[in-house]
Amino acid sequence: MVGDLSVHEFSWQLAAGQPTPGGGSAAALVGALGAGLVSMVCNYTVGREQYADVDAEMRGVLARAEELRGQLERAVEDDVAAYGSYSDAQKLPRETDDDKAARDAALDAALRESTLVPLAVAERCAELLELALRAAELGNRFLISDAAVGAELAGAARASAELNVRLNLAGVDDEEFARSCRERLDAVGARVGGRELVDRTRSVVEKRAAG
């Protein structure tokens, strides 16, 4: 399991001459790390007297950030599995027309899954960006730099996942599927405004840090 690797081992496997883990898994992991930082800000805020007025909201941010962290960690594995399915489909026989039809169907299914995994990563990272901003606005001021870093990581993961989706869609023949995926990407783009949420979070952190 990729998730059981140490940081060193994961980095080594990324650099090795093998197809997985690759960019999709790396993007999901970066998103999970961003979620972890948002959770850390929350954990240093909830239960503290000076932040009692935002305690309930920060507990909600913490709970959702942890849900997203778990989902993004699973996406690291899902990306590896999706690529494995595509690789397996490429090896199917092509001797007869039935063979070719079965192979094409398997390739199409695997490509769809390879598209849906990063699409979900992009959507989750968009939500994570909103949580990072809230953590920066309300969280323990001694930890808000971590909210800014979390936002940067979530933004990078979102952009990377979107790139993978668009590249995969170039090979999809089903126009209805492709249209649906692009609409979901457009919704993500509208939600985060490119780097808008990342920059807003940084601005909030800089103002709070300045006193």
Q: What CATH number does residue 91 fall under?
A: 1.20.120.680
Q: Which domain holds residue 30?
A: 18-209
Q: How many domains does the chain have?
A: 1
Residue 5 maps to a domain:
no
| Pairs from 44-51 (Cβ < 8 Å, separation ≥ 24) | 44/139, 44/140, 44/142, 44/143, 45/135, 45/138, 45/139, 45/140, 45/143, 48/140, 51/138, 51/139, 51/140
Average pLDDT for residues 89-102, to the nearest whole number? 93
State the pLDDT at residue 195: 94
CA 56 to each of CA 108, 109, 156: distance values in angstroms, whole numbers, following the listed order: 46, 43, 29
| 7 domain residue, yes or no | no
pLDDT at 54: 98
* pLDDT band for position 115 (cuts 50, 70, 90): very high
Q: Is residue 23, in this structure, part of any structural domain at all?
A: yes
* Distance from C-alpha of 126 to C-alpha of 123, rounded to nearest angstrom: 5
**Is 31 within a domain?**
yes
pLDDT in tens, 193-209: 999 999 999 999 999 99
Does 153 reside within a domain?
yes
With a cut of 90, say whether residue 1 has pLDDT above it: no
Quickly state the pLDDT bin for 139 (edges 50, 70, 90).
very high
Residue 106 lies in a domain: yes
Residue 25 neighbours by CB under 8 Å, 6+ apart: 2, 75, 76, 77, 79, 80
Structure confidence at residue 73 (pLDDT):
97
Dihedral through CA 126, CA 132, CA 137, CA 143, nearest 10?
-170
Q: Is 120 inside any structural domain? A: yes
Question: Which amino acid makes up residue 57?
Answer: E
Cis upstream peptide for 21 (omega within 30°)? yes
User: Band of the pLDDT at 211, cuts 50, 70, 90?
Assistant: confident
> Cβ neighbours of residue 31 under 8 Å, at least 6 residues apart?
68, 72, 75, 121, 124, 125, 128, 153, 154, 157, 158, 161
Domain-located, residue 24 = yes
From residue 13, how far is each of 5, 9, 28, 33, 147 by CA, in Å?
A: 9, 6, 15, 18, 29
